[in-house]
Structure 1
Amino acid sequence: MSKRIIKKVAIIGSGIMGSGIACHFANIGVEVLLLDIIPRELTDAEKAKGLSINDKIVRNRLVNDALNHALKSKPSPIYHQEFSKRITTGNLEDDIAKVKDVDWIMEVVVERLDIKKSVFEKLEKYRTPGTLITSNTSGIPIHFMSEGRSDDFQKHFCGTHFFNPARYLKLFEIIPGPKTSSEVLNFLNGYGEQFLGKTSVIAKDTPAFIGNRIGIFGIQSLFHQVKALGLTVEEVDKLTGPVIGRPKSATFRTVDVVGLDTLVHVANGIYENCPNDEAHELFKLPDFINTMMENKWLGSKTGQGFYKKVDKEILALDLNTLEYKPSKKANFATLELTKTIDKVIDRFKVLVSGKDKAGAFYRKNFASMFAYVSNRIPEITDELYKIDDAMKAGFGWEHGPFQIWDAIGVQKGIELMKAENLEPASWVQDMLASGVGTFYTIKEGATYFYNIPSKTQIKVPGQDSFIILDNIRKSNQVFKNSGVVIEDLGDGILNCEFQSKMNTIGGDVLAGLNKAIDLAEKDFQGLVIGNQAANFSVGANIGMIFMMAVEQEYDELNAAIKYFQDTMMRMRYSAIPTISAPHGMTLGGGCELSMHADKVVAAAETYIGLVEFGVGVIPGGGGSKEVALRASDSFRKGDVELNTLQEYFLTIGMAKVSTSAYEAFDLGVLQKGKDVVVVNKDRQIATAKAYAKIMAETGYTQPVKRKDVKVLGKQALGMFLVGTDAMQASNFISEHDHKIANKLAYVMAGGDLSEPTLVSEQYLLDLEREAFLSLCTERKTLERIQHMLKTGKPLRN
């Protein structure tokens, strides 16, 4: 069998989904042909320019407008604006013949079977045999679409359902048609995971497939429960958000973002096409939803839904009166009991035991969800782990239904159901009768799931490319303190995993990092600094800095800053390769740590930057030194060196944060030719380990400390001071911003040296620490730190 390579794809339909999918293929380096229909008539602007319907600019208007709108939207669908050059636009009349040259055609047109079938009829005239052809549908049965098409078409045809937005949501459902070949399914399953960075799930051709079938059930179930339990919109969102490992937008805010009409469309489809579903009546829309649809209260797209913003005030919909009222903060005694439980998975037992309205809600909610998912096997899938994967990847749940059920206890879950007059599917009782007490177990670092036909637990497939820290933490633990866990990844590579709140870097984390280097230098070959929390690290522990500064314990604060600097330099100049694996928010000290590793293996979704200006200081863990060093290394003969240095200065001064790992190269935070990006975060630790191993085995040599950093002295300092004076005079920056900027200028210039000079890294670190410490004596800096600690937002003072 020949190897299938995807060099070019054609996306048919440039709406929100089509443009988003086109951008994501461009993200991973694939050439994209994006096609849409021709406009039926000219706009007034086109008429005024004397254009005709035959002009190319007019014929491609719809596709170009859609793509431009997508590229300007926030959050951006593309990792880097330069990547949009990989997308070529056209229309379905002039350019349809070009699909003969692509490796994959994907249809993303309106959700109407007749239109989809007519598009496939046109495409088949030009499609090269053997080319993949798929439909991104959210619910139309796949077997209807390929009727009447050739055998080759049907063999290479299936559904490939992305979730919106395509860049950010990881679920990639693959739905076979009646004649789809196993080669096509296996290829797409692997391609989705390895190249697109998705969680690939092969689903059955049932209404709404897996993700939307379960997700819409969950939302519809809540719609029917909310009034019965006397809960408000705000209370439901409090109960169904981060406390149970769901997105901050929880339930009703999520519906507002997605659009009530979208949800209603899918719910109606399930209601009409699943008459035998035991929860059939739950998919019937409650009266308040019908009224909202009639009123066009669809959410963000219409300016109001379950929430409405009036000036700066957020109003919430009263579901009884259907009037908007000021949003109220929700509080429940049961939730208070979980505040000290850091791990979400450990909260569920407490939540279902609650004595208040929240406890009743969770018991009812989980009982209905457990019963429903158990009864969907084997209807929508044969394997229970696919339901969990779909909910985590498509709806942003930290844990899937069967994982939550395990956490509560399988027998306890059945008791919750019986209290609601519900029954689990018979296979659950068979599982318990066979002596298997949980849906999942961890063995030898791998996850096993209960396989219904064999009545035994078997290994979840596809784990060999991943290292899952949750699975190896206990068995492979080498060291642990309150800040880190150090695990043996095998093959002579250690991993240092942060365990502090938000992975902040304080004394315990730095002690753990030093211990990891000690262990690696003594008995191992390399060290990865990586974790699988939501964010890599939000930076240094500013609470500790604030307390020392308020108490005026300046000697202790100076020692703490030096300890941070020394640890970063220890990473850089250790005898073993150090690999940083940042992802999510990687701010301040987290960014400094990555800049001092031998190599960075960053997840594509890494938001990294030096943001210390926001709390009234400069980067003090080696970051200010490092940008001066990198500026020096980038000076080229004939360059205006001041311009290069100024770019780095502005990166810190404006607290720039990349919106992807690829943007971090532009900021100079990641380095081209040295650092790498992985699209699938699940592969990140394994990839980082592989690089550490390669570096160790190809003769890693401990680096020699640098004493050749070129600083420009008074020449640069004068330029910076003139610039900051002008910015303050123009009211672009405050007086305190001006003071911070001048401190940074002093460090990056290397002080007020009379001429350009070569200095050591330690010289710059001493300047950096002195500047950082002096800023910690300023009242306005303490106000900024205190405001950040209280609100999580920067203060401009």
Structure 2
Amino acid sequence: MSKRRINKIAIIGSGIMGSGIACHFANIGVEVLLLDIVPRELNDKEKAKGLTLEDTIVRNRLVNDALTASIKSKPAPLYHPSFVNRITTGNLEDDIAKVKDVDWIMEVVVERLDIKQQVFEKLEKYRTPGTLITSNTSGIPIKFMNEGRSDDFQKHFCGTHFFNPARYLKLFEIIPGPNTDQEVLDFLNEYGEKFLGKTSVIAKDTPAFIGNRIGIFSIMSLFHTVKDLDLTIEEVDKLSGPVIGRPKSATFRTVDVVGLDTLVHVANGIKENCPKDERNELFVLPDFIDTMMENKWLGSKTGQGFYKKVRKDDGSSEILSLDLNTLEYREKQRAKFATLEMTKTIDKVVDRFKVLVKGKDKAGEFYRKSFAALFAYVSNRIPEITDDLYKIDDAMKAGFGWEHGPFQIWDAIGVEKGIEMMKAEGLEPAAWVNEMIDSGNKSFYSVKNGATYAYDIPKKSQEKIPGQDSFIILDNIRKTAEVFKNSGVVVEDLGDGILNVEFQSKMNTIGGDVLAGLNKAIDLAEKDFAGLVVGNQAANFSVGANIGMIFMMAAEQEYDELNMAIKYFQDTMMRMRYSAIPTVAAPHGMALGGGCELSLHADKVVAAAETYMGLVEFGVGVIPGGGGSKEMALRASDTFKKGDVQLNTLQEYFLTIGMAKVSTSAYEAFDLGVLQKGKDIVVVNKDRQIAVAKQHAKLMADMGYTQPVHRKDVLVLGKQALGMFLVGTDSMEDSNYISEHDMKIANKLAYVMAGGDLSEPTKVSEQYLLDLEREAFLSLCTERKTLERIQHMLTKGKPLRN
């Protein structure tokens, strides 16, 4: 990698996209200069204050308003509210000279070539030679943008296309111009992966690049299929959502969120600029889209699109759906298909495709038609939009949130079966697909020695996909590196003396088999290895303990067994902390309840930036019982300072549990005390997480890891703290802020975190606190209202307030 450093970036244009990108650079610690135009007239507020167009506050109004709106938007663009301090705002007249001091200038202004060219002309006067300069365009050819610019500008210029919202969508398309230096492309490719946490894909300078070209085709193809098969929008969203590994918003809800006008703009661009595209006619808008555009039914931003939220007479709200035949809104209808019922027992999405395309009902027909169209289209886009098939898959997964890219789905169905489906629809794959099969290659991908290989069309052979060396892909090593397996976990050898234990239960819940697997992994590591990582690459790290198992035992009043089960959980967490080898937890996505407790007890946490972590047990009517309540009391004790109001510190930790607080990023988890500054670290690119966790486990082992000594010095405050907590919960119940049962749970937690009703502050052991915690947990499991809460969570998937 070149010696370039990005310490400071200038972002030109502060709209939704510009502000979002600015926030994400601030997320990774880069200083940001965000510039926009100067307003041409005063608004009413400014007139009332007697301001003039010369006042700085007026001149920077557009940029400051845009950034404020971005920061308030949901989901939050910043990992932590304080990161906004890394962004400085200004305008393109007073502050443009400051671009001479930045390492990268990114233009994110309106999608009009003439305006972009004017901006570049202005910027070139102040840009320091050698500075990167890129455009976040979603479709204007790069070759037109740098016309008339200097050689140095053209060498350092290319397209860098982020997807909205920039923090959450992982695709980062890099589009070279005619004269872009290879060094610039290589740098941006690595920078995107390593620092921005993105999937970097180098695309060709073709309309809509890779992600939008395939993504918009897929949506337009569905628009036409809806009419052909006479499907409702609910049916299409059911068929094109999580069942095939796509986001919950599926097709029509996604269009509502993105905005119908945005979709139409890109579709029209492809229609006009790709006359040789064999499916050009598919980009013609169906009549219902034309009508919706005329009516300004653009989706969420106009209050109605394919769906519309309305208030009922009783004050409640309901969501109506658009009938595509009458173009009138009606009540939502439930969508049900026999084919989908057949996949209910198939947990892995990739294993469902074969079943779905065999369906005998309308769903089966839908899948055969839509996959046939998609497969034919992507095969014909090579080499037009990219030379490499895996780049198309990467773009769809990272930009549109698909779990599997088109070629991976095609592999899952079978390459020859895919061709057969195409022929039934009167479609043909590109010639290279038949050549691939004739050469003896029956799939697009293969795995060898833990690495993924993809079919290389010019070489006519499977070649290793570059850039994998900094990743560990558990799917690729599981079969060859397996050391132990039971129904709940797989333990893999990551090499260099480090084991990994990967949960395999539904939603990675922690039950008896997972605990047995964790203990076995620690046994194996202590005997023959140097360290242990607890990590997986599923959608979530772990949603917590298996509450179904707790419910069964509690409902049948098997309290001895339940006591043993809780003790087993506690003992396993304590083994994570007090084993002879270093343990590293690698949480990502949801790390709730028991998943959070496991992380609390590891020697170190290597968290993905997108980690939503917290002790949420109050939602099911209990307190954290796997060491979480004990650990928060211990952490409070460790932060007591001399002369500090110790009660206030303890109260903060108490409220973290009592209010079931969940961080909205790993950085927020430090504020909650569930991650610890100076010990735990954050990784922006989730794909690198297991590899980084392994490095830290190895480093701790190499530096001479010593088994910790059990703690007997936890300072608890006894009656003094208990009294304060009980008064607080009592007044909250009096003012109807919490229910009677909430008060009962909070008082049990108070008893544990105060260390019981000791007459004075006392130093106690962790085991003392664990026993109190277990006793409280058990007693709450005997309460009818707790069982109602657990049952509600199991059946409805959300907390019950009773």
Q: Report the AA paired with residue 566 of structure 1.
A: D
Deviations 1:333-354 (A, max 9, x none): 0011111111100100000000
The answer (yes or no) to whether the contact 2:2–2:187 under 8 Å persists in 1 is no
* 1:523 corresponding residue in structure 2: 528
* 1:501 corresponding residue in structure 2: 506
Deviations 1:729-771 (A, max 9, x none): 1111111111100000000000000000000000000000000
Alpha-carbon separation, structure 2, partners of 1:338 and 1:462: 35
Mapping for residues 245-644 of structure 1, pairs under 5 Å = 245-311=245-311, 312-644=317-649
* 2:766 corresponding residue in structure 1: 761
Alpha-carbon separation, structure 2, partners of 1:732 and 1:64: 37
1:91 aligns to 2:79 (yes or no): no
1:23 aligns to 2:48 (yes or no): no
Report deviation, 1:659: 0.2
Deviations 1:559-603 (A, max 9, x none): 110000000001110000000000001100000000000000000
Q: Report the AA paired with residue 578 of structure 2.
A: Y
* 1:714 corresponding residue in structure 2: 719
Give the SS at the match of 1:557.
helix
Q: Report the AA paired with residue 769 of structure 2.
A: L
The answer (yes or no) to whether the contact 2:2–2:183 under 8 Å persists in 1 is no
Alpha-carbon separation, structure 2, partners of 1:230 and 1:44: 51
2:661 to 644, 656, 665: 656
* 2:314 corresponding residue in structure 1: none
Report deviation, 1:722: 0.7
Deviations 1:184-203 (A, max 9, x none): 00000000000000000000
Alpha-carbon separation, structure 1, partners of 2:51 and 2:620: 55
Alpha-carbon separation, structure 2, partners of 1:327 and 1:40: 46
* 2:744 corresponding residue in structure 1: 739
Alpha-carbon separation, structure 1, partners of 2:460 and 2:45: 67
Give the SS at the match of 2:122.
helix
Q: Report the AA paired with residue 199 of structure 1.
A: T
The answer (yes or no) to whether the contact 2:615–2:657 under 8 Å persists in 1 is yes
Alpha-carbon separation, structure 1, partners of 2:321 and 2:538: 32
Give the SS at the match of 2:575.
helix
Alpha-carbon separation, structure 2, partners of 1:542 and 1:40: 60
Report deviation, 1:179: 0.3
Q: Report the AA paired with residue 346 of structure 1.
A: D
* 2:10 corresponding residue in structure 1: 10
1:675 to 660, 667, 680: 680
Q: Which moved more, 1:15-24 or 1:327-336?
A: 327-336
* 1:53 corresponding residue in structure 2: 53
Alpha-carbon separation, structure 1, partners of 2:486 and 2:700: 28
Give the SS at the match of 2:458.
coil
Alpha-carbon separation, structure 1, partners of 2:506 and 2:375: 31
Count of residue pairs the alignment pairs up: 797
Give the SS at the match of 1:428.
helix
Q: Report the AA paired with residue 237 of structure 1.
A: D
Report deviation, 1:632: 0.3
Alpha-carbon separation, structure 1, partners of 2:511 and 2:335: 33
* 2:756 corresponding residue in structure 1: 751
Give the SS at the match of 1:50.
coil
Alpha-carbon separation, structure 1, partners of 2:295 and 2:561: 62
Deviations 1:256-292 (A, max 9, x none): 0000000000000000000000000000100000000
Q: Report the AA paired with residue 237 of structure 2.
A: D
The answer (yes or no) to whether the contact 2:17–2:166 under 8 Å persists in 1 is yes
The answer (yes or no) to whether the contact 2:605–2:681 under 8 Å persists in 1 is yes
* 2:195 corresponding residue in structure 1: 195
Alpha-carbon separation, structure 2, partners of 1:41 and 1:738: 56
* 2:235 corresponding residue in structure 1: 235
The answer (yes or no) to whether the contact 2:716–2:754 under 8 Å persists in 1 is yes
Deviations 1:277-315 (A, max 9, x none): 000000010000000000010000011100011122111
Mapping for residues 60-79 of structure 1, pairs under 5 Å = 60-79=60-79
Alpha-carbon separation, structure 2, partners of 1:29 and 1:218: 36
Give the SS at the match of 1:738.
helix
The answer (yes or no) to whether the contact 2:173–2:201 under 8 Å persists in 1 is yes
Give the SS at the match of 1:76.
coil
Q: Report the AA paired with residue 492 of structure 1.
A: G
Alpha-carbon separation, structure 1, partners of 2:110 and 2:796: 43
Deviations 1:383-422 (A, max 9, x none): 0000000000000000000000000000000000000000
Q: Report the AA paired with residue 150 of structure 1.
A: S
Report deviation, 1:2: 6.1
Alpha-carbon separation, structure 2, partners of 1:343 and 1:329: 24
Alpha-carbon separation, structure 1, partners of 2:795 and 2:156: 56
Alpha-carbon separation, structure 2, partners of 1:526 and 1:11: 44
The answer (yes or no) to whether the contact 2:19–2:70 under 8 Å persists in 1 is yes
Q: Report the AA paired with residue 746 of structure 2.
A: A
Give the SS at the match of 2:253.
helix
Deviations 1:617-665 (A, max 9, x none): 1000000000000000001111000000000000000000000000000
* 2:792 corresponding residue in structure 1: 787
* 2:155 corresponding residue in structure 1: 155
Alpha-carbon separation, structure 2, partners of 1:473 and 1:252: 37
Report deviation, 1:40: 1.1
CA 1:35–1:443 in 2, change beyond 3 Å: closer, same or farther?
A: same
Q: Report the AA paired with residue 3 of structure 1.
A: K
Give the SS at the match of 1:331.
coil
* 2:130 corresponding residue in structure 1: 130
Give 4+ residue runs of structure 1 displaced > 4 Å after superposition: none
Give the SS at the match of 1:465.
coil
Fraction of identical pairs, as percent: 86
* 1:218 corresponding residue in structure 2: 218
Q: Report the AA paired with residue 661 of structure 1.
A: A
Q: Report the AA paired with residue 749 of structure 1.
A: A
Q: Report the AA paired with residue 74 of structure 2.
A: K
Report deviation, 1:791: 1.1
1:114 aligns to 2:114 (yes or no): yes
Q: Report the AA paired with residue 246 of structure 1.
A: R
Report deviation, 1:207: 0.1
Report deviation, 1:521: 0.5
Give the SS at the match of 2:479.
coil
Report deviation, 1:485: 0.6
Give the SS at the match of 1:256.
helix
Give the SS at the match of 1:475.
helix
Alpha-carbon separation, structure 1, partners of 2:139 and 2:152: 24
Report deviation, 1:240: 0.4
* 1:730 corresponding residue in structure 2: 735
Alpha-carbon separation, structure 2, partners of 1:664 and 1:276: 52
The alignment's C-alpha RMSD in Å is: 0.6
Q: Report the AA paired with residue 184 of structure 1.
A: V
Give the SS at the match of 1:487.
strand
